[in-house]
Structure 1
Amino acid sequence: MFNLIKLEFYKLKRQDILKVLLLIVIGISAFSAFSEIRILMSDGLRGSGKEGYTNGFRDMFMLFVSGIFAGFYIGSDFSNKTIQSQLFQGYKRLDIIISKALVFFIGTSIIMLLYPITVSIIYTFKYGWGEPFTITSVLFILRVAALGIILNVGTTSIFVLLAFLCKDIPKTICTCFAFPVLISAISSTLGKAVPVIGDLLRFTTLAQMGSIIDDIILPSTVLTVFLTAMITVIIVISLANLLFAKAEVK
């Protein structure tokens, strides 16, 4: 397992895809921030760095970028026969899944965190933070970032499952793109029509993202975030292992 994790970190450093995606995220963040600023100015309104920071965590668009990362980082290992080679060398399928998932989570966490940080910096230069910047502000930034990373790990663990199901780059990217769209559609239709489904959706990692950006949150909210993400990751990785264990890898 340790050797596999070292190999994944080495691969992440050597691949250009993460660097390219980070540049794309910065570009998207800047475009989004300046577009919103123009809209606010035309309406005679003001934003703030804090507002841009919190709104960035609720923007589902970054899931599409993470989907691309999943396709090129995990899906490509099927296309270039890397995973087949690891299986031939005797590595366990679960170890392969976990090692790739761990390093993928690190990469996608950087991608997801860069967006609100970039938007917040632009907003702060234009409007200021929105309130006196104190140690409380620093703790708020760190707390939202930490809980946001935890929730994003839970959400993007679905992409690990999809990558091991699709076993190539295009299918992985397409299914990852469809995931947030499908969840949004279910939430706006069945979630409203069927109360039980709506209640269940409120406990997903995507829905929990809105609860971490309040100035003050209860310990129960933090516990719910941890449990939601942890349960999601355990279920998804277990399902990926179950399906991958039975799959024929050519």
Structure 2
Amino acid sequence: MSGALRVGIVSQARMTSTRLPGKVLLRAGADSLLGWHLRRLRQTGLPVFLATTTNAADDVLAAFGAAHGLPVTRGDEHDVLGRFLLCARQHDLEAVVRVTSDCPLIAAELITEGVARYRAAADPRLYLSNVLQRTYPRGFDFEVFSRELLEEAARRATLPAEREHVTPYINQNRSGTVRLAHLTRATDASRYRLTVDTPEDFTLARALLADYNAGRLDCEEIIALLAAHPKLVALNAEVEQKKI
């Protein structure tokens, strides 16, 4: 692995979310949730790709990609792992940053730091993330891993949950040869929830983006904003994360 390693961000999206259908194209202030997500990812300077399904319901996401210069890979709705591999192959990626499109306030600087650490390690068996040891708000999640690990997972992962959630085969170290690394924050801020999976989540995201200009704030500024406004945090404090 070299300094010229081709790393791309792949974001997964679909319109048929069970708890909030069509959520990624809901408007929050000046843009859609997916629009804000894309803006923030592009701050990394890395190429960004969208992985969606072949379902007719997701034609609108392919159209979004075409309108925003965002390359789109389409595949099976339930085999998200297969979609990621197809995208990596189509664009000759040597390493992938996995994110999900329901994170409109995702932090570019965390991804940049994570990718820098990943490149410096020069280890194709490395998996680096901020999700296994969670100290950042849910909604800043990212994972970095090699095409080699992705190919291996696609060959060997057989459980439906492993195919749907992309990385369990890798980050559970099913092969026994993966090295895990963690990007953590000195003070735990994992109690905050910035992902959008329910109407309550959307109410918070819309308030942050439309009323508090959060789309222009970095990770630490957003955490400080939440700490200063407990009434905002209360908007989705009762939401339970879906279990894998």
Scaled by the length of structure 1, the TM-score of the pair is 0.28
Higher RCO (Cα < 8 Å, 6 or more apart): 1
Larger radius of gyration: 1
Scaled by the length of structure 2, the TM-score of the pair is 0.29
**Which has the larger helix fraction?**
1
